[in-house]
A and B are shown apart, each in its own frame.
Chain A
Amino acid sequence: MERIPILKMGDFLLVTIQVDLYDQLAENLETDLVNSVKKYESKGVLIDISSVSIIDSFMGRILGNIGMMSKIMGAESVIVGMQPAVAITLVELGLTLTGVSTALNVEKGMDLLRSKIELSDTQSDDDDDYYDDTE
């Protein structure tokens, strides 16, 4: 069966999506990623979508699922390399990819992952959000 390769690099997992995902392939990727996070005790997942030319609501849901599943497993995730035309189309379609962290390229994505992990290591409590209460 066709599968998207998942590479382990230190504390991180790297996934480069270079083909159009059809339903079965996308579902396999979700399962494989969650299993790999557990197996390698990964702290972060980086997904490169620079070769993806189309993101429809199905694909958007898969990306959201991956973010949520990683989070539940205790790993941060970042999606990098979105094509400008894809970003414009997503917004017009109404898909906002809430809950998904993004970065411009792999390098910036790695920096973001590292900073997120450092943050979650130093702050174990949940109430790290500060709201100004002045009305």
Chain B
Amino acid sequence: MMMMTTTTIQNREEFVVVREQDVIPFRNKVKDAAVKIGMGILNQTKLITAASELARNLLKYGGGGMVSIESVNNGRENGIRLVFSDKGPGIADIDLAMRDGYSSGKSLGLGLPGTKRLVNEFNIQSAIGQGTTVTIIKWKNG
């Protein structure tokens, strides 16, 4: 899972998510990017749902942040990479946060593991007091 082949970025756009009203325009941007590379409706739906979950996490736990929306290619296939970064409190125990059914907030506790199932690559990095970065990739036919 951690082994990432050389991925080239073909297009990149930054999006700021700081209020709940930003989530839907952000989702639309992700959809536009997915449509542009010809992603099918099912993978689009999975990607946008994952993006929505992570954008809400960004607001709820990270106090808002930036998302980079990128069209990428790994030599075989095109995909969409999303990088969510916040400067929030960070996650103390990532293994615990990735466990099904665990939640520190008021939501349903399927945020991170559920989101991971919807995408092809999922990477999370966090440092206490510095923030959290979540990177996901959905390949066009992934």
Contacts and interface: CB of A to CB of B under 8 A. Distances in A.
Contacts of B48: 53-54
B108 A95 contact: yes
Interface residues of A, number: 22
Contact of A89 (B27, B49, B100): B49
Given A56-B53, A57-B110, A89 B46 contact: yes
B53 A86 contact: no
A58 B56 contact: yes
Contacts of B41: 85
A61 B52 CA distance: 14
Contacts of B45: 53-54, 83, 85-86, 88-89
Interface string A77-102: 00000011110110011110000000
Contacts of A92: 46, 114, 117-118
A60 B56 contact: no
B42 A56 contact: no
Contact of A60 (B20, B24, B108, B117): B108
Contacts, number: 68
B49 A55 contact: yes
A20 interface: yes
Interface residues of B, number: 25
Contacts of B46: 85, 88-89, 92
Interface in B2-61: 20-21, 23-24, 27, 41-42, 44-46, 48-49, 52-53, 56
B56 A56 contact: yes
Contacts of B117: 92-94
A84 to B, nearest CB: 8
Q: Which 5 A-B pairs have the closest CB atoms?
A: A85-B45, A56-B52, A94-B110, A93-B114, A94-B114
12 contacts: A20-B27, A22-B20, A22-B21, A22-B23, A22-B24, A54-B45, A57-B107, A57-B114, A58-B52, A61-B108, A94-B113, A95-B114
Interface of A: 20, 22-24, 53-58, 60-61, 83-86, 88-89, 92-95
